[in-house]
Chains A and B, each alone.
Chain A
């Protein structure tokens, strides 16, 4: 019984939040990794692309709510998602036409493109705050919980409760669908194959008649879709606040690099590695250990390795360690 109680406490405070957070990071890192693989630069504007997509979703959600349309137990934001994706695609394609294309035609070095993407980041950041303001916005509706703590306790009679939020369940399901669709696209479709070919060897791909502008366009569209989905899921699960997406940039890049830049599989693995490290290292293990340790050996302190304030420091340290000892990441991506 004690073992079960400990397991439930662990799931409630570590496993479930980390899985949801990991899925959000993985979706974000997939976007970063695709840009790196195909356009060959680190896109610092990715966090704010997420914010822009999420903002569109928030606005459309409000519109739908105003019209009295809802999605039953699921959040209305899901209905708004397609509109937000289309809007974000338009934004990134316009940005590409107006900004990145100029540097691509000049065959600018990746480091220049990185700096350019920082400029784009600040503009997008300002745009989002200009439209919706810098504050928290609530747009989650529908059923809040799949299982709430009270229901779980009644069901099982355990002392510890377990809560699974609808948004957490939704995050994982949507992430799985997105990843499956992306891999199908990359491996089975003609466009996907040409994207991979372009990523592997640009000159060879050009010689075999692949149109580079088409590859670039499809890449941006996929990235916009992934960024919007990741942004909306994060906003639903936590809260929508423009500045928070900027802060997410560090863990997202850490995920992409740990997994191996340019490797989609690596991005997903990296997302979960970072999420689980952040959560487990800053978790106070007292409660779980009290259930699991034999009597008399229970810890009296909190058994917390790092204070929660250092959450981002964890991804930073992992990032540095990976760059020092295995710059290509877990899945042999491109070295940075």
Chain B
């Protein structure tokens, strides 16, 4: 009897190491709130990666991966932390793909992820402040810091021959960080920033804010806001009063809602979204489109990559335990190793299982630098014929 017990215990232990079980991954994005039109496609992007891995049957000896969604609300730190807490304690997720907006991401990291020792990879939190956040090596992002976006956008504006700009930003971590970095970079390039003012999201009327910006003047208006919130209101007020007719729009403003709201009224406006020429997210966006989500927004490839990195790191560590695989994320993301493109996750799992090295490229040419954030390629866009078109890559 004793022998039998021992044997079965040993067998179950053995099975624990390699057995096929179900790994849950949290997907925390703002399914309600100021970027709610962008998040369904981002979640779908992450879920494409999870499905790909599940279907391959190669993760940790045939484990499947199930996504569990949580709502970050993008703006409410309390609600976001509660959602993350629930995913970890009630659903037992092994890693978190998210959160989306910088403020809530910082809150979840400090209040939930670090105390619980949970790995978080954000696809879209871009605040420069997160680079220096206390994270115990648990926080990564496949999106670059806005410190870089500010430099790129400033360069784009300067290249267009623009010498003075007014800046308005949404009054939160993301907006403030971005506005500061654009302003600093543009001034360093010899441009003039005539005024920098905040706008509150969710107001009915932005004519007073625009009146201030118009009084300050400038060749164009930088709107560092959200496309589902105050951003379009500011642009509408600026167009109506004739204060500005071209705009510079960072990533939060680029989406099909912008085309729908303004079309060719903002002809010639410029913008930047994360993206790289060597990166090819088309495989991901096609699959996301097939789920019925609108795949024209940003951060879909980043979401795919964030989920993929978590799963590859699990494979490399041979465990779905966050404390074990956190250290492996940089290894699988960067050289040396075989380059892994989107749709090749099965192949990557094979290589890792065989003891080889991978250099994950993914949908967005992932290269993690510093404390684990994307080095950052950007796509410059121009509004032409009422459509968002790609001008070039930086």
Residues of A within 8 A of B (CB): 12-14, 17, 144-145, 148-150, 153, 161, 163, 165, 234, 237-239, 241, 243-244, 278-279, 282-288, 302-304, 307-309, 311
Contact = CB atoms under 8 A, between A and B. Distances in A.
- Classify chain B's interface size: 20 to 34
Given A13-B214, A308-B197, 15 more contacts: A12-B241, A13-B241, A14-B211, A163-B242, A238-B205, A239-B233, A244-B204, A284-B216, A285-B215, A286-B216, A287-B214, A302-B195, A308-B211, A309-B200, A311-B208
Contacts of B198: 309
A144 B198 CA distance: 27
A302 B204 contact: no
B211 A284 contact: yes
A181 B209 CA distance: 35
A286 B242 contact: no
B106 to A, nearest CB: 23
B336 interface: no
Nearest to A244: B204
Nearest to A304: B212
B286 interface: no
B215 A239 contact: no
B160 interface: no
B215 A302 contact: yes
Contacts of B212: 282-284, 302, 304, 308
Contacts of A279: 208
Most buried by A among B216, B242, B243: B242
A90 to B, nearest CB: 26
Contacts of B204: 234, 238-239, 241, 244
B217 interface: yes
Contact of B217 (A145, A234, A287): A287
B66 interface: no
Given A149-B242, A161-B242, A239-B233, A17 B215 contact: no
Contact of A283 (B195, B200, B211, B241): B211
A329 B20 CA distance: 77
B202 interface: yes
Contacts of A303: 215
A17 B240 CA distance: 11
Interface in B353-384: none
Contacts of A282: 208, 212
A-B pairs with lowest CB-CB distance, top 8: A149-B242, A284-B215, A238-B204, A161-B242, A13-B211, A287-B215, A244-B204, A238-B205
Contacts of A14: 211
Given A241-B204, A282-B208, A308-B208, A12 B242 contact: yes
Nearest to A153: B242
Contacts of A278: 208
Interface in B174-220: 195, 197-198, 200, 202-205, 207-209, 211-212, 214-217
A295 B284 CA distance: 60
Given A307-B197, A308-B197, A309-B198, A286 B208 contact: no
A13 B215 contact: yes
B240 A165 contact: yes
Given A238-B204, A283-B211, A149 B241 contact: yes
Contacts of B211: 13-14, 17, 283-284, 308
Nearest to A282: B208
Most buried by A among B197, B202, B204, B233: B204
A14 B242 CA distance: 14
B233 A283 contact: no
A13 B215 CA distance: 9
Nearest to A283: B211
A282 B203 CA distance: 16
Contacts of A241: 202, 204
Interface string B103-119: 00000000000000000
B291 to A, nearest CB: 23
Contacts of A144: 240
A163 B241 contact: yes
Nearest to B205: A238
23 contacts: A12-B241, A13-B214, A14-B211, A17-B211, A145-B240, A148-B242, A150-B242, A163-B240, A163-B241, A165-B240, A234-B204, A238-B204, A238-B205, A239-B205, A243-B202, A282-B208, A284-B211, A284-B215, A287-B217, A302-B216, A304-B212, A308-B211, A309-B198
Contacts of A150: 242
Nearest to B229: A136
A294 B197 CA distance: 28
A288 B207 CA distance: 16
A101 to B, nearest CB: 34
A172 to B, nearest CB: 16
Contacts of A17: 207-208, 211
B242 to A, nearest CB: 3
Contacts of A284: 195, 211-212, 215-216
B203 A286 contact: no
Contacts of A163: 240-242
A13 B242 CA distance: 10
A244 B195 CA distance: 27
A234 B209 CA distance: 18
Nearest to A12: B241
Contacts of B208: 17, 278-279, 282-283, 308, 311
A241 B230 CA distance: 12
B82 to A, nearest CB: 20
Given A165-B240, A308-B209, A311-B208, A244 B215 contact: no
Contacts of A304: 212, 215
B331 to A, nearest CB: 44
